[in-house]
Structure 1
Amino acid sequence: MDISVVRPAELGVPWVKAWHEVMDGSKVFANPFLAPEFAAGVGLFRGGARVAVLREDGEAAGFLPFERGAFGVGRAIGMGLSDCQGMVHRAGLSWEARDVLRGAGLSMFEFDHLVAGQEAFGPFVTGTFASPVVDLAPGDPDGGYPGWLRSVYPGLAKTVLKKERRLARDLGDLRYVFDERDPAVLRRLMNWKSAQYRRTGRMDRFARPWIVGLVDHLFQVREEHFSGVLSVLYAGDRPVAAHFGPRSRSVLAAWFTAYDPELRYYSPGLMMHLRTAEGAARDGVRVLDLGRGDKEYKDWLKTRELRVGEGFAWRGHPVALAHRLWRRPVRGLRNTVLAHDWLRTPADRLLRTVGNLRGGT
Structure 2
Amino acid sequence: MNFFASSGFLDATAAVYFKDRPATIENVRIGDDVLRLLVVDGKKIITRLLFLDYHEPLAAGEIAGPVRSGLFADRVSRGVIDVDDRSDQELAPFVDWSRFNGFDHYYDRLLQRHHGLMRDRERRGRALVSRFGNLTFTLDDRSEDVLPLVRQWKGGQLRSIGLPDFFTDPRTLAFFDHLQQRGLLTTSTLRAGGRLVSAWIGFIHQGAWSGWIFTYDPALKKYSPGHQLLVRMLDASYQLGHREFDFSIGAQDYKLLYASHGRVLAKIGNPSAVRATMMFARDALLQRRPDLFAAALRGKWALQAAKRRLSLAIAMRQS
TM-score interval for Structure 1 and Structure 2 normalised by the shorter chain? 0.7 to 0.9
Which residue number corresponds to residue 149 of structure 2? 188
Q: 1:208 to 1:291 in 2, by over 3 A?
A: same
TM-score, normalised via structure 1 length = 0.66
Which residue number corresponds to residue 45 of structure 2? 74
| Superposed CA offset, 1:66-110 (max 9, x none) | 35489x553316x232222255353396999xx722xxxx6x44x
Alignment partners' CA distance in 1, 2:119 and 2:223: 13
* Residue type of the alignment partner of 1:114: V
Q: 1:174 to 1:152 in 2, by over 3 A?
A: farther
CA contact (8 A) 2:27 2:63 kept: no
Show the 5 A alignment for 1:106-125. Answer: 108-109=71-72, 111-116=73-78
Which residue number corresponds to residue 326 of structure 1? 278
Structure 1 gaps of 5+ residues are: 1-28, 55-61, 118-126, 141-146, 315-319, 338-342, 356-361
CA contact (8 A) 1:45 1:210 kept: yes
RMSD in angstroms over aligned alpha carbons? 3.4
Q: 1:331 to 1:50 in 2, by over 3 A?
A: farther
Residue 173 of structure 1: which of 126, 134, 141 is its match? Answer: 134
Alignment partners' CA distance in 1, 2:137 and 2:266: 35
Alignment partners' CA distance in 1, 2:189 and 2:62: 42
Note the C-alpha offset of 1:242.
Answer: 0.4
Q: Secondary structure at the match of 2:275?
A: helix
Q: Which has the higher contact order (CA 8 A, sep 6+)?
A: 2
Q: Secondary structure at the match of 1:153?
A: helix
Structure 2 gaps of 5+ residues are: 29-33, 80-87, 299-319
Show the 5 A alignment for 1:282-293. Answer: 282-293=239-250
Which residue number corresponds to residue 14 of structure 2? 43
Note the C-alpha offset of 1:302.
Answer: 1.0
Alignment partners' CA distance in 2, 1:128 and 1:283: 31
Note the C-alpha offset of 1:150.
Answer: 4.7
* Residue type of the alignment partner of 1:290: F
Alignment partners' CA distance in 2, 1:173 and 1:263: 15
Q: Secondary structure at the match of 1:245?
A: strand
Q: Secondary structure at the match of 2:145?
A: helix
TM-score, normalised via structure 2 length = 0.73
Residue 134 of structure 1: which of 74, 79, 95 is its match? Answer: 95
CA contact (8 A) 2:137 2:190 kept: yes
Residue 239 of structure 1: which of 180, 192, 196 is its match? Answer: 196
Alignment partners' CA distance in 2, 1:195 and 1:297: 19
CA contact (8 A) 1:150 1:157 kept: no
Note the C-alpha offset of 1:238.
Answer: 0.2
Residue 37 of structure 2: which of 65, 90, 96 is its match? Answer: 65
CA contact (8 A) 2:94 2:244 kept: yes
Which residue number corresponds to residue 5 of structure 2? 34
CA contact (8 A) 1:51 1:63 kept: no
CA contact (8 A) 1:242 1:272 kept: yes
Note the C-alpha offset of 1:284.
Answer: 2.6
Which residue number corresponds to residue 234 of structure 2? 277
CA contact (8 A) 1:52 1:65 kept: yes
User: Aligned residue pairs: how many?
Assistant: 273
When structure 1 is superposed on structure 2, of 276-285 and 249-258 the one drifting more is 276-285
Which residue number corresponds to residue 259 of structure 1? 216
Q: 1:63 to 1:201 in 2, by over 3 A?
A: closer
Alignment partners' CA distance in 2, 1:244 and 1:308: 23
Q: Percent sequence identity over matched residues?
A: 22
* Residue type of the alignment partner of 1:130: L
Note the C-alpha offset of 1:153.
Answer: 2.1
